Amino acid sequence: MNDDQALRRKMADALEAAGKLQSPAWRRAVEAVPRHEFLRGGFFETVPGVSPTSWAPVMPDAPGWLERCYADESLVTQIAGTIVPGDLEGRISRAPTSSSTMPGLVVRMDEDLLVEDGMRVLEIGTGTGYSTALLCERLGEDLVTSVEVDADVAMRARNALAAVGYHPELVVGDGLAGHKDGAPYDRLIATCGITTIPQAWIEQVRPGGLIVATVCGWLYSSELARLTVQRDGTATGRLLGGQISFMLARPQSPPPLGMLPDLDAGEERPTTVGADLLGDWTARFVMQLATPRVQRLDLPRNGRTEHVLLDVDAGAWAAVYADGAGWLVRQGGPYRVWDLVEERIGLWQVAGQPDLSEFRISVADGQQTVFWPS
Ligand SMILES: C[S@@+](CC[C@H](N)C(=O)[O-])C[C@H]1O[C@@H](n2cnc3c(N)ncnc32)[C@H](O)[C@@H]1O
């Protein structure tokens, strides 16, 4: 057994012990697919102790590179939409735009996809191609289609997949539109986050088929969801729990913040919903259900931190800040952001603050509803 085979076996043991890898078929795939071959172009690591987050390249000749390819870690492979590790000496402080997802999450989602032999799968977000390779190994390359929005990322994935012997159908395009030519699929899995499940996905998965995707929002709380496509063209399901997060699908990313509105203009009042709740994963998810177009920034103003929620397109905003033992909110613009947050948080609290794993999701006529059972 060579070094990388031993590392794969060790990783499979660890993922099994953690309960992420559950079935022998997926274990065989994890042991067969050489993740390091999908990271030949290197990856980025964070530079410790630097703010804002800064990234430095780690190339295959770096000590420990091979071992790190088999750690249960996400490895960033592209920054700011174009920059790959080989382009950079030094460091960069921009946002990651492509990565090899942590193997534990990939296999957990694969297990949640409940595939059976002979099923056809559409994957959205090819990335490095590692997760695509696992699907090929499990199902056979003829049954796998993967869509990647970035042509350069897709080309690298195609090369890496071919180098290790997989030739699935790879499509360059916006995966939010699915890939109609290959429909119907038995399963659809997304390895980028989405704010809403596209109607195209529901139309391209057969009735009874499953969609597994991470539902995110612009307040950066998110959760994995599994939906069953129904005969009437709707889809229903539930959130699966685990506080899963993914980089958002490119067309669904939030708009730039631009010029801030005058945060001193507005009406101030006390609020019983404090900004401390923004630190709670589930509460934040509930808030973004109430105000899906809102983004957050924390600003030092007037000698304190103001937690600002801003809808850039509408110009609505709320600034929440501590006032002695309580909280104050100041709001402006065409609608009252914090009023909506308070109302939805109140309903969630009255329901006993259910966990996200108890939430349900349904999509009908392109309208997504996420709710907790009453
Ligand atoms: C987390 S990475 C995917 C990781 C990949 N599954 C792997 O194992 O390497 C997310 C990928 O989704 C891609 N992406 C973002 N928006 C997309 C869209 N609308 N359609 C298809 N791919 C998209 C990104 O370019 C990125 O490569």
Taking only the tens place, the pLDDT of each residue in 175-205 is 999 999 999 999 999 999 999 999 999 999 9
Q: Is the peptide bond before 96 cis (omega within 30 degrees of 0)?
A: no
- For residue 93, is it within any domain? no
At which of 251, 276, 296 does a domain end? 251
Question: Residues 239-293: pLDDT tens digits?
Answer: 998 888 899 999 899 999 988 999 999 999 999 999 999 999 999 999 999 999 9
Q: How much is the mean pLDDT over the chain? A: 96
- Over residues 64-90, the mean pLDDT reads 95
> 10 CA distance to ligand 1 centroid (A)?
27
Which atom of ligand 1 is nearest the CA belonging to 175? 20
Q: Which two tokens stand for residue 119?
A: 């099923």
Residues 296 and 346 in one domain: yes
Instruction: Return the closest-CA partner of residue 313 out of 289, 295, 286, 338.
Output: 295
pLDDT at position 1 is 64
Asked if residue 94 belongs to a domain, the reply is no
pLDDT value at position 200?
97
Which residues form ligand 1's pocket by a CB distance below 6 Å?
97-101, 106, 124-125, 127-128, 130-131, 147-150, 153, 174-176, 191-192, 246-247, 249-251
pLDDT over 90, % of the chain: 91
Q: What is the pLDDT of residue 2?
A: 75
**Domain-embedded: residue 41:** no
Instruction: Tell me: do 241 and 303 sit in the same domain.
Output: no
Query: Could you give the CA distance from residue 185 to residue 122 in angstroms, rounded to a whole number?
Result: 7
Query: Domain for residue 106, yes or no?
Result: yes
Q: Both 148 and 120 in a single domain?
A: yes
Domain that holds residue 118: 102-251
Confidence of residue 302 (pLDDT cuts 50, 70, 90): confident
| Domain total of the chain | 2
Residue 326 lies in a domain: yes
- The predicted pLDDT at position 178 comes to 98
Ligand 1 atom index nearest CA of 100? 9
Same structural domain, 299 and 346: yes
Atom 13 of ligand 1, nearest CA residue: 125
Q: Is residue 49 part of a domain?
A: no
* 218 and 122 share one domain: yes
12 against 301, higher pLDDT: 12
Q: How far is the CA of 346 from the centre of ligand 1 (A)?
A: 36
Give per-residue pLDDT as tens, 306-329.
999 999 999 999 999 998 889 999
Judge if 247 and 273 occupy the same domain: no
Q: What is the mean pLDDT of residues 358-368?
A: 95
Residue to mutate, 75, 126, 156, 169, ligand 1, most ligand atoms under 8 Å from C-beta: 126
Q: What is the pLDDT of residue 245?
A: 87
Q: Answer yes or no: do 280 and 339 share one domain.
A: yes
- Residue 311 belongs to a domain with what CATH number? 3.30.160
> What pTM does this model have?
0.95
In terms of domains, do 231 and 145 share one? yes
**Does residue 303 sit in the same domain as residue 212?**
no
Please identify, by atom number, the ligand 1 atom nearest to the C-alpha of residue 74: 1
Distance 54 CA to ligand 1 centre (A): 21
* 122 and 205 in a common domain: yes
Give the nearest ligand 1 atom to 123 CA: 6
Q: Are residues 136 and 204 in the same domain?
A: yes
What CATH number does the domain containing 120 carry?
3.40.50.150
Q: End of a domain among 221, 251, 281? A: 251
Cβ-Cβ contacts under 8 Å for 271 (sequence gap 6 or more): 320, 327, 328, 329, 338, 342
Percent of the chain with pLDDT over 70: 100
Q: Which atom of ligand 1 is nearest to the CA of 157?
A: 9
- Interval 130-160: pLDDT, tens: 999 999 999 999 999 999 999 999 999 999 9
The pLDDT assigned to 211 comes to: 98
348 C-alpha to center of ligand 1: Å?
A: 32
In a domain, 90, yes or no: no
pLDDT number for residue 71: 96
Q: Which residue has the higher pLDDT, 61 or 52?
A: 61
Residue 305 covered by a domain: yes
Q: Of the residues 251, 282, 305, which one is the last residue of a structural domain?
A: 251
Give the pLDDT score at 324: 86
- 176 and 245 share one domain: yes
Question: How does pLDDT run across 79-121, given as a tens digit for each residue?
Answer: 999 999 999 988 999 999 999 999 999 999 999 999 999 999 9
